[in-house]
Amino acid sequence: MLDLADRVVLISGANRGIGRALAERLAAAGCRLSLCARDPDTLKAAFGPETDRRRHFRFDATERPTYAATVDGTLAAFGQIDVLVNNAGASNRFSIEAGDEADLDALWTINVKGPLFMTRFCLPHLRVSGSGRILNIASLSGKRVRNENVAYNMTKHALVALSHGTRRIGWDDGIRVTTLCPSFVRTDLTADATKVPPERMIQADDLAEMAAVALALPNTAAVPELLVNCRLEDQY
Protein backbone atom coordinates (compact mmCIF):
# COMPACT_ATOMS: atom_id res chain seq x y z
CA MET A 1 0.00 0.00 0.00
CA LEU A 2 1.13 3.56 -0.63
CA ASP A 3 1.60 5.85 2.32
CA LEU A 4 -0.92 8.64 1.78
CA ALA A 5 0.77 10.96 4.30
CA ASP A 6 1.84 14.24 2.71
CA ARG A 7 0.48 13.36 -0.72
CA VAL A 8 -1.18 16.40 -2.28
CA VAL A 9 -4.79 15.80 -3.26
CA LEU A 10 -6.89 18.21 -5.34
CA ILE A 11 -10.64 17.65 -4.87
CA SER A 12 -13.31 19.51 -6.82
CA GLY A 13 -16.72 19.95 -5.25
CA ALA A 14 -15.20 19.39 -1.82
CA ASN A 15 -17.63 21.50 0.17
CA ARG A 16 -20.34 18.88 0.66
CA GLY A 17 -21.45 15.30 0.11
CA ILE A 18 -18.98 12.79 -1.27
CA GLY A 19 -16.27 15.43 -1.78
CA ARG A 20 -16.43 16.57 1.82
CA ALA A 21 -16.44 13.01 3.19
CA LEU A 22 -13.42 12.13 1.08
CA ALA A 23 -11.58 15.29 2.13
CA GLU A 24 -12.14 14.43 5.79
CA ARG A 25 -10.98 10.84 5.26
CA LEU A 26 -7.81 11.88 3.42
CA ALA A 27 -7.02 14.56 5.96
CA ALA A 28 -7.11 11.86 8.62
CA ALA A 29 -4.64 9.87 6.50
CA GLY A 30 -2.23 12.81 6.52
CA CYS A 31 -2.79 14.14 3.01
CA ARG A 32 -2.32 17.77 2.14
CA LEU A 33 -5.50 19.05 0.55
CA SER A 34 -6.37 21.47 -2.21
CA LEU A 35 -10.13 21.85 -1.81
CA CYS A 36 -12.22 23.44 -4.54
CA ALA A 37 -15.75 24.77 -4.77
CA ARG A 38 -17.66 27.41 -6.69
CA ASP A 39 -17.97 29.39 -3.46
CA PRO A 40 -14.83 29.13 -1.30
CA ASP A 41 -16.79 30.46 1.67
CA THR A 42 -18.61 27.12 1.79
CA LEU A 43 -15.23 25.43 2.26
CA LYS A 44 -14.45 27.65 5.21
CA ALA A 45 -17.86 26.85 6.68
CA ALA A 46 -17.26 23.12 6.25
CA PHE A 47 -13.61 22.86 7.31
CA GLY A 48 -12.66 26.09 9.03
CA PRO A 49 -9.97 28.56 7.96
CA GLU A 50 -7.16 27.51 5.64
CA THR A 51 -4.03 25.96 7.13
CA ASP A 52 -0.59 25.13 5.78
CA ARG A 53 -1.94 21.65 4.97
CA ARG A 54 -5.29 22.68 3.52
CA ARG A 55 -5.95 25.39 0.96
CA HIS A 56 -9.23 26.55 -0.57
CA PHE A 57 -9.77 27.56 -4.18
CA ARG A 58 -12.61 28.80 -6.30
CA PHE A 59 -13.31 26.31 -9.07
CA ASP A 60 -16.28 26.55 -11.41
CA ALA A 61 -16.44 24.02 -14.23
CA THR A 62 -18.29 26.58 -16.36
CA GLU A 63 -15.44 29.10 -16.05
CA ARG A 64 -12.26 27.84 -17.71
CA PRO A 65 -9.87 30.40 -16.10
CA THR A 66 -10.61 28.86 -12.69
CA TYR A 67 -8.98 25.58 -13.82
CA ALA A 68 -5.51 27.04 -14.29
CA ALA A 69 -5.90 29.26 -11.23
CA THR A 70 -6.72 26.24 -9.08
CA VAL A 71 -3.80 24.17 -10.35
CA ASP A 72 -1.37 27.07 -10.15
CA GLY A 73 -2.52 27.92 -6.63
CA THR A 74 -2.12 24.31 -5.54
CA LEU A 75 1.41 24.17 -6.91
CA ALA A 76 2.30 27.47 -5.27
CA ALA A 77 1.04 26.17 -1.93
CA PHE A 78 2.41 22.62 -2.02
CA GLY A 79 4.83 22.30 -4.93
CA GLN A 80 3.22 19.14 -6.33
CA ILE A 81 -0.02 17.36 -7.19
CA ASP A 82 -0.20 13.61 -6.54
CA VAL A 83 -3.93 12.92 -6.71
CA LEU A 84 -6.79 14.50 -8.65
CA VAL A 85 -10.36 13.82 -7.56
CA ASN A 86 -12.90 14.96 -10.15
CA ASN A 87 -15.93 15.05 -7.88
CA ALA A 88 -17.84 18.17 -8.97
CA GLY A 89 -20.95 17.20 -10.90
CA ALA A 90 -24.54 18.12 -11.60
CA SER A 91 -27.84 16.55 -12.63
CA ASN A 92 -31.12 17.63 -14.16
CA ARG A 93 -34.20 16.07 -15.72
CA PHE A 94 -33.35 16.56 -19.39
CA SER A 95 -34.84 13.57 -21.24
CA ILE A 96 -35.11 12.36 -24.81
CA GLU A 97 -38.59 13.87 -25.11
CA ALA A 98 -38.30 17.01 -22.99
CA GLY A 99 -35.85 19.64 -21.83
CA ASP A 100 -34.03 22.68 -23.16
CA GLU A 101 -30.76 22.25 -25.02
CA ALA A 102 -29.13 24.54 -22.49
CA ASP A 103 -29.79 21.93 -19.82
CA LEU A 104 -28.05 19.28 -21.92
CA ASP A 105 -25.10 21.59 -22.57
CA ALA A 106 -24.77 22.40 -18.87
CA LEU A 107 -24.29 18.76 -17.94
CA TRP A 108 -21.74 18.18 -20.68
CA THR A 109 -19.81 21.20 -19.45
CA ILE A 110 -19.82 20.23 -15.78
CA ASN A 111 -19.78 16.43 -15.86
CA VAL A 112 -17.52 15.82 -18.85
CA LYS A 113 -15.57 18.90 -19.91
CA GLY A 114 -14.81 19.74 -16.28
CA PRO A 115 -13.02 16.45 -15.51
CA LEU A 116 -11.46 16.35 -18.99
CA PHE A 117 -9.78 19.73 -18.84
CA MET A 118 -8.86 19.48 -15.16
CA THR A 119 -7.17 16.18 -16.04
CA ARG A 120 -5.31 17.90 -18.86
CA PHE A 121 -4.04 20.59 -16.50
CA CYS A 122 -2.96 18.09 -13.84
CA LEU A 123 -1.43 15.32 -15.97
CA PRO A 124 2.11 16.77 -16.19
CA HIS A 125 2.30 16.99 -12.41
CA LEU A 126 0.77 13.55 -11.85
CA ARG A 127 3.41 12.11 -14.19
CA VAL A 128 6.17 13.66 -12.08
CA SER A 129 4.74 11.90 -9.03
CA GLY A 130 5.44 8.43 -10.45
CA SER A 131 2.40 7.14 -8.59
CA GLY A 132 -0.18 9.72 -9.61
CA ARG A 133 -3.81 8.91 -9.05
CA ILE A 134 -7.06 10.14 -10.57
CA LEU A 135 -10.41 9.36 -9.00
CA ASN A 136 -13.41 10.22 -11.16
CA ILE A 137 -16.72 10.24 -9.32
CA ALA A 138 -19.26 8.88 -11.78
CA SER A 139 -22.36 6.85 -10.93
CA LEU A 140 -23.99 3.52 -11.65
CA SER A 141 -25.84 5.66 -14.19
CA GLY A 142 -22.56 5.54 -16.10
CA LYS A 143 -22.91 1.76 -16.36
CA ARG A 144 -26.64 1.27 -16.95
CA VAL A 145 -29.81 3.31 -17.57
CA ARG A 146 -32.73 3.05 -15.16
CA ASN A 147 -34.45 6.43 -15.49
CA GLU A 148 -35.47 9.06 -18.02
CA ASN A 149 -32.70 11.55 -17.16
CA VAL A 150 -30.79 10.76 -20.32
CA ALA A 151 -28.41 13.73 -20.20
CA TYR A 152 -27.13 12.65 -16.79
CA ASN A 153 -26.76 9.05 -17.97
CA MET A 154 -24.97 10.10 -21.13
CA THR A 155 -22.48 12.30 -19.33
CA LYS A 156 -21.67 9.69 -16.70
CA HIS A 157 -21.09 7.10 -19.42
CA ALA A 158 -18.76 9.62 -21.05
CA LEU A 159 -16.90 10.12 -17.78
CA VAL A 160 -16.25 6.37 -17.59
CA ALA A 161 -14.82 6.55 -21.12
CA LEU A 162 -12.62 9.48 -20.11
CA SER A 163 -11.28 7.43 -17.21
CA HIS A 164 -10.27 4.55 -19.44
CA GLY A 165 -8.69 6.91 -21.96
CA THR A 166 -6.67 8.53 -19.19
CA ARG A 167 -5.57 5.15 -17.82
CA ARG A 168 -4.19 4.28 -21.24
CA ILE A 169 -2.08 7.39 -21.72
CA GLY A 170 -0.90 7.62 -18.11
CA TRP A 171 -0.10 3.99 -17.35
CA ASP A 172 3.59 3.95 -18.28
CA ASP A 173 4.16 7.03 -16.09
CA GLY A 174 2.62 5.39 -13.03
CA ILE A 175 -0.75 7.13 -13.24
CA ARG A 176 -3.64 4.95 -12.16
CA VAL A 177 -7.27 5.97 -12.67
CA THR A 178 -10.30 4.69 -10.79
CA THR A 179 -13.89 5.46 -11.68
CA LEU A 180 -16.15 5.34 -8.64
CA CYS A 181 -19.69 4.37 -9.64
CA PRO A 182 -22.07 4.41 -6.66
CA SER A 183 -25.80 3.97 -6.51
CA PHE A 184 -27.77 6.33 -4.24
CA VAL A 185 -25.51 8.05 -1.72
CA ARG A 186 -27.04 9.70 1.32
CA THR A 187 -26.23 13.36 0.77
CA ASP A 188 -28.21 16.54 0.33
CA LEU A 189 -28.28 15.83 -3.42
CA THR A 190 -30.46 12.76 -2.83
CA ALA A 191 -32.68 14.37 -0.20
CA ASP A 192 -35.66 14.28 -2.56
CA ALA A 193 -35.07 10.74 -3.86
CA THR A 194 -37.94 8.34 -3.25
CA LYS A 195 -36.75 5.09 -4.85
CA VAL A 196 -34.54 4.19 -1.88
CA PRO A 197 -35.12 5.22 1.76
CA PRO A 198 -32.29 7.36 3.16
CA GLU A 199 -31.29 4.72 5.71
CA ARG A 200 -30.72 2.21 2.89
CA MET A 201 -28.52 4.48 0.80
CA ILE A 202 -24.73 4.29 0.71
CA GLN A 203 -23.22 6.42 3.46
CA ALA A 204 -20.77 9.03 2.20
CA ASP A 205 -18.20 8.05 4.84
CA ASP A 206 -18.28 4.42 3.67
CA LEU A 207 -17.79 5.51 0.07
CA ALA A 208 -14.86 7.69 1.13
CA GLU A 209 -13.27 4.73 2.89
CA MET A 210 -13.43 2.63 -0.27
CA ALA A 211 -12.03 5.49 -2.34
CA ALA A 212 -9.13 5.96 0.08
CA VAL A 213 -8.22 2.29 -0.25
CA ALA A 214 -8.23 2.56 -4.05
CA LEU A 215 -5.97 5.62 -3.90
CA ALA A 216 -3.52 3.84 -1.58
CA LEU A 217 -3.12 0.71 -3.73
CA PRO A 218 0.30 0.31 -5.38
CA ASN A 219 0.82 0.66 -9.13
CA THR A 220 0.64 -3.14 -9.42
CA ALA A 221 -2.92 -3.36 -8.04
CA ALA A 222 -5.03 -0.84 -9.91
CA VAL A 223 -8.85 -0.75 -9.73
CA PRO A 224 -10.23 0.71 -12.98
CA GLU A 225 -13.88 0.74 -11.89
CA LEU A 226 -15.45 0.47 -8.46
CA LEU A 227 -19.19 -0.23 -8.63
CA VAL A 228 -21.00 0.21 -5.33
CA ASN A 229 -24.54 -1.00 -4.76
CA CYS A 230 -27.04 -0.13 -2.07
CA ARG A 231 -29.64 -2.48 -3.55
CA LEU A 232 -29.50 -5.64 -5.64
CA GLU A 233 -28.75 -4.89 -9.30
CA ASP A 234 -27.58 -6.83 -12.31
CA GLN A 235 -23.95 -6.03 -13.09
CA TYR A 236 -22.54 -5.76 -16.57
Which residues are tagged catalytic? 152
Helix (H, G, I), strand (E, B) or coil at 113: helix
Residue 10 Cα distances to 3, 133, 190, 201, 202, angstroms: 17, 10, 24, 26, 23
Distance CA 126, CA 216 (A): 15
Distance CA 2, CA 166 (A): 21
- Burial per residue of 184-221, b for 16 or more beta-carbon CB atoms within 10 angstroms, e otherwise: bbbbeebeeeeeeeeeebbebeebbebbbebbbbeeee
Are 163 and 209 in contact by the 8 Å Cβ rule? The answer is no
Q: How many CB atoms lie within 10 A of CB 122?
A: 24
Containing H/E element for 24?
A: helix 17-28
